[in-house]
Every structure is written in structure tokens, then in C-alpha cells.
Amino acid sequence: SSSGSGSGSGLEYESKAPTATSDRECSPVKDCGADEFQSKAPTATSDRECSPVKTCGPDEFESEAPTATSDRVCTPVQTCKSTQYESKAPTATSDRKCKALTNCVLGDTYETEAPTSTSDRVCSPVTTCGPNEKETQAPTLTSDRVCGAGCSDLNAVFVVEGAVSQSQADALKRAASILSSHGVDISAVGVGRNVDERLLGDIDGAYDLVSRASEIASTVDTCSD
């Protein structure tokens, strides 16, 4: 005979063995609850054992869902390296995804947007100087190339065909000397006497050249023309 009430599954196990003077006692097999799993299966003489399903921590995700007979498996969420950014945030059931940061190429591209923990670095093409321009500031990994007026343009400004007096001619020669020391080629400097003032257009032009020479020459230090 048997005693005890049945479980939802209707299974029973022998909870007390029979003796010469007593009958076998049977008990219903326990059912695990909604937040439990079967950690040990019932036998003919033992009840089912149930254990609480594990809860993943804040820095873990569920890599394997629990079943009736197995626990939930939790895995640590990966941390992106310093050379990576988070391309997809972790969820309760998925890991964080990391991607390698884009690297700018010195001389070809430079950083226009810095990376964050959740966004990639943005690189833009380095400016190419035009045919009448010179590089006045070299590009870096975080700044663009800066271009300025080329030497050939500046040379043309200082080509003088004549001078009205020896003093003005001397002034032009001094201007030419300063400019030449900075790589500017002066192709012609007038040194004649008693030349029509109109050739200069401005009687003070030669002296103005001297006063401006150092300032202008400093902008073409890198010129090689």
C-alpha cells in the first residue's frame, strides 16, 4: 500500500522501507518552483532535490538560460581595451561587443573627432597645398596641414625694374638681401640713377620694401623656390 498525496507529476518514491511488521511508505516527488531547477533527480528511494536558479550580477550576462534540470550560466561582460570602443552595449542575455579604433595615418589623414568609450575616432584627409602654395605648418595626427602663399608669388612682388635714386636703389638692395637670406629669389633690382619716378609708381616704394622685408620674409622661411 502507499501513503501520502501525489505531486503534480504523480510520481512517488519510497520514503520508508517495509519491515516484517510494517508496510512500505511512499511520498509524492517534490516539484521544483518557478525560480528553481532540479539539482538531483528523484530515485525509487529518494526525493527530487531543487536549487535556486542563479541571478547574474551587474557585470555579468546570461550565456546559458536555465532549464528544468540545469542552472543559469552567467559570464563576465568583456571590457573593451584602450585601443577599442564599444560598438554594441551588453544586455541581460548578450555580451558587450568591441571594435578596434580607426587609426589616422600621419601625412594622409588626421583626427577630426576624438574617440569615446562608445564611438570610433573620425579621420579626415589632410589638405593638399595648391600649385602656388607652400606648406607653412606640417600636419600631425590631430591637426591639418596649413598652406600659405608660395615663394614664386612673393618673388614677383619684389621684382623691380629701376629706381629713382641711389638711395632708393640701396634700399631695394637691402630689402633684397633680407629676402634672399630667407630663400626668396629676387630676379632683378634696379640700381640705375636718375630713373623716372613713375617706374616705381610710388616714390616711397623702395623704403616701404625695406620696412616690410623682414615681416614678409618670415612667412616664407620654408620656401625653397
Closest residue by Cα to residue 162 from 185, 186, 194, 130: 194
Written as nine digits, the cell of 32 is 521544483
Quick one: which H or E segment has residue 58?
A: none
Mean pLDDT of 170-175: 62
Tracing cell 630676379 back to the chain, one arrives at 187
Measure the CA–CA gap between 173 and 97, rounded to whole angstroms.
69
**Whether the model pTM is above 0.75:** no
Measure the CA–CA gap between 13 and 48, rounded to whole angstroms.
9
Angle, vertex CA 205, rays to CA 203 and CA 211, nearest 5: 135
Give the pLDDT of residue 130. Answer: 86
Written as nine digits, the cell of 87 is 560598438
Q: Is the pLDDT of residue 187 over 90?
A: no
Q: Are 84 and 115 in contact (CB under 8 A)?
A: no
Percentage of the chain surpassing pLDDT 70? 62
pLDDT bucket at 109, cuts 50 / 70 / 90: very high
Measure the CA–CA gap between 209 and 225, rounded to whole angstroms.
20
Written as nine digits, the cell of 184 is 626668396
pLDDT bucket at 148, cuts 50 / 70 / 90: confident
Mean pLDDT of 51-70: 97
Q: Is the pLDDT of residue 34 over 70?
A: yes
Give the pLDDT of residue 180. Answer: 60
Measure the CA–CA gap between 87 and 46, rounded to whole angstroms.
51
Q: Is the pLDDT of residue 160 over 50?
A: no
